[in-house]
Amino acid sequence: MGTLTPARLANGAVAAVDYLLGREHPRSMPMVAKLETANLCNLRCPYCLHGEDPRGEAFRNKRYMTLETFQTVIDQMGRHLLALILYHKGEPFLNKELLDMCALAREQRIATIVSSNFSLKFTDAEIEDIVQRGPTYLTISLDGITQEIYETYRVGGKIDLVLDNLRRLVAAKRQREAASPIIAWQFIDFDHNRHQLVEAERLAREIGVDNFVVTRNREGLTHDGHKLGALNRAPARTGRFPFKCKWLWTLPVILYDGESVPCCDYDWRRDKHMGNISGGFASIWHGADYALNRRIVTNQSSCIDHPNAHCAACPLKG
């Protein structure tokens, strides 16, 4: 993660108390933020909004986050941030300023996390640039070792392209003796690809990635109405925490244009979000809309019909 400065350490301690007490007006700022660096994607994976939305209604404005908007995030939130997650509902490497963003975050000692399908044409110079100026952590999604199995889920992807990019990235990192990016091969376990899991792990070791991560498919996962997607990601209650959702106290999502939404499962059909960072993120984070939804999530409010009750139907509340 990023450098734990005194300000970040103090903020993290207060954030933990804010969450445990369910404060509607937290005294802390977010420790992590998730940014939509691009809302476009080159693939059409099932279960992803891009795959389920063939007419593109969810992304009428296909855009990239600008470096100016990113700098605004750094200016307003950077003092307290440990990490920036630089992907949301799109392929982050489609944004040509992504590495500039990573470099700016590095200057502020903020870790950056990127997840990519990596099915893009990178020159050797671009691969070198990823090692030199890229993210702290890079997850590459690769759910098979043959094109037939891989493209069952990664519709439109080219496995040979991904593997070539991955091999060159590992080689460039070794040549520079670089500590980052920490490279993870992510394999989503489905019925159709499970027979290739062992061989995929062997290949990952052969190539030399840092981590091989297996993610279990969540049956019924869908973005239709966003409810099932959240429900299937919800961890079982253990009694350790008063409620499941931590987004409203620790991790905001900022869309490409600076609009703030409560979490990654926000309802894109809404015309109104929490506010835009152009007016100051602190006023959003400590504002009325966030307070209302924190009350709803902690069952301190029944205002589920309020037009700004973004979290009213979320299965993570209560």
For residue 209, tell me if it sits in a domain: yes
Q: What angle (nearest 5°) sits at the alpha carbon of residue 69, between those of residues 65 and 72?
A: 150
Average pLDDT, rounded, for the chain:
88
CA proximity to 281, closest of 66, 44, 33: 33
For residue 197, tell me if it sits in a domain: yes
Name residues of the chain where pLDDT drops below 70.
50-61, 217-243, 267-272, 301-302, 304, 317-318
For residue 169, tell me if it sits in a domain: yes
What is the model's pLDDT at position 62?
A: 73
What is the model's pLDDT at position 46?
A: 86
For residue 265, tell me if it sits in a domain: yes
For residue 303, tell me if it sits in a domain: no
The tokens of 123 are what?
């020159």
What is the model's pLDDT at position 207?
A: 98
Residue 71 sits in a domain whose CATH number is 3.20.20.70
Q: Does the pTM exceed 0.85?
A: yes
- With beta carbons less than 8 A apart as the criterion, state whether 244 and 234 touch: yes
**Residue span of the structural domain in which 212 resides:** 6-14+27-275
What is the model's pLDDT at position 302?
A: 64
For residue 122, tell me if it sits in a domain: yes
Helix (H) or strand (E) holding 274: none
What is the model's pLDDT at position 235?
A: 43
What is the model's pLDDT at position 224?
A: 38
* Cβ-Cβ contacts under 8 Å for 99 (sequence gap 6 or more): 129, 130, 133, 134
Each residue of 59-108: pLDDT tens digit?
Answer: 556 789 999 999 999 999 999 999 999 999 899 999 999 999 999 999 99
Each residue of 165-194: pLDDT tens digit?
Answer: 999 999 999 999 999 999 999 999 999 999
For residue 34, tell me if it sits in a domain: yes
Q: What angle (nearest 5°) sits at the alpha carbon of residue 182, between those of residues 179 and 184?
A: 155
Give 166-196 as a DSSP string: HHHHHHHHHHHT---PEEEEEEEE-TTTGGG
Helix (H) or strand (E) holding 35: strand 32-35
Alpha-carbon distance of 262 to 18, in angstroms, equals: 16
- Dihedrals phi, psi of 54, to nearest 5 degrees: -60, -25
For residue 300, tell me if it sits in a domain: no
Helix (H) or strand (E) holding 277: none
> Based on the structure, what is the number of domains in the chain?
1
CA proximity to 248, closest of 63, 22, 7, 52: 22
Taking CB atoms within 8 Å and a gap of at least 24, the contacts of 236-242 are: 241/19, 241/20, 242/20, 242/22, 242/298
